[in-house]
Amino acid sequence: MAFFSRKVNIEKKDILKKPLPKHIAIIMDGNGRWATKRGLPRVAGHRAGVESLKNIVEFCLEINIPYLTVYAFSTENWKRPREEVNTLMNLMVEYIQKELEILDKNGVRINPIGKLDDLPVYTLEYITNAYLQTKNNNRLVLNVALNYGGRAEIIQAVRMISENVKKGILTIDEVNENLFSQYLYTTNQPDPDLMIRPSGEMRISNFLLWQLAYTELWVTNVLWPDFKPHHLIKAIYDFQNRERRFGGLNLN
């Protein structure tokens, strides 16, 4: 007797039946490999990666995800060849030039997170402008992690809290997890429920170290430029069928 495995196609309507994640985080990984596989320069992979980002933002709006955080440039990415770093900085500007009006019209708040002071002046100008233009939007908060490092974010919070204790604005007894979260870039935002890493790497790579404490991780071998809304649907479907216990027991 032959056994047939039936491939189940999960569709958008399937994930709308259960609560959706409020906050999705994505490490947009695999751009370089995608390009190399095609005999193209690595920067072509980043350009293709921007197209994936556009599609995913659009889909998040379509299904009403309120928070999306994408890792665009890490504190370690400066070690890459200068041409690649320049291309990435230019792509951010290009993305804002082309997409700002439509993102704004659709209620997207562009919220850069990271050590922004170290970015090239022209990139910083565009990003600041995008932030200011969209800061009152509240349909989708798009956190763009730029020159971002999770450890650096934590150290910065520790420094600010210490300063405030020294000045008498805070007491040591007031320092708890809730207060600490308020000193991070993601202040007043829920922690990510779901973190997606394309291209198969099983690492967090200094991304949202504090915020990912109880986040469900979903890794796929698909490279970021090939990542489509149907992959996001699958990730959300898997997320919805996991049991989240936050360190407790589910006794039902």
Q: Are 193 and 19 in contact (CB under 8 A)?
A: no
Q: Left (φ > 0), alpha (ψ -120 to 50) or beta: where does 216 sit?
A: beta
Continuous H helices in the chain: 12-15, 31-37, 42-62, 82-105, 121-134, 150-166, 177-182, 229-240
Looking at 30, 112, 149, 192, which residue binds ligand FPP (CB under 6 A)? 30
Residue type, 74: S
Half-sphere exposure of 142 (CA within 13 A, CB side): 25
Q: Is 44 in the site for ligand FPP (CB under 6 A)?
A: no
Stretch of 90-98, 155-163, 175-183, 203-211 contacting ligand FPP, by CB under 6 A? 90-98
Task: State yes or no: is 29 an active-site residue.
Answer: yes
Stretch of 4-12, 22-30, 59-67, 133-141 contacting ligand FPP, by CB under 6 A? 22-30
Task: State yes or no: is 104 an active-site residue.
Answer: no
Tell me whether residue 91 or residue 235 sits nearer to ligand FPP (CB atom): 91
Looking at 26, 53, 113, 194, which residue binds ligand FPP (CB under 6 A)? 53
Q: Give, as ranges, the residues between 143 and 162 that touch ligand FPP (CB under 6 A).
A: 144
Stretch of 48-56, 105-113, 118-126, 148-156 contacting ligand FPP, by CB under 6 A? 48-56
Q: Whole-angstrom Cα distance, residue 248 to residue 167?
A: 38
Looking at 77, 90, 220, 240, which residue binds ligand FPP (CB under 6 A)? 77
Q: Give, as ranges, the residues between 204 and 243 that touch ligand FPP (CB under 6 A).
A: none
Q: Is 56 in the site for ligand FPP (CB under 6 A)?
A: no
Looking at 60, 89, 92, 235, which residue binds ligand FPP (CB under 6 A)? 92
Residue 98 CA to chain centroid, in angstroms?
20
Select from 232, 222, 195 the least CA-distant residue to 210.
Answer: 195
Tell me whether residue 157 or residue 222 sits nearer to ligand FPP (CB atom): 222
What's the full length of the chain, in residues?
252
Tell me whether residue 77 or residue 164 sits nearer to ligand FPP (CB atom): 77
Looking at 24, 25, 28, 60, which residue binds ligand FPP (CB under 6 A)? 28
Dihedral of CA atoms 10, 11, 16, 18 in degrees, nearest 10, equals 0
Select from 54, 37, 65, 47 the least CA-distant residue to 199.
Answer: 37
Q: Is 33 in the site for ligand FPP (CB under 6 A)?
A: yes
Q: Which residues contact 25 (CB under 8 A, 6 or more apart)?
A: 68, 69, 70, 71, 192, 194, 195, 196, 207, 208, 211, 212, 215
Residues of this chain that interact with ligand FPP (CB under 6 A) are 28-33, 46, 49-50, 53, 72, 77, 88, 91-92, 95, 144
Q: Could you give the residue numbers annotated as active site? A: 29, 77
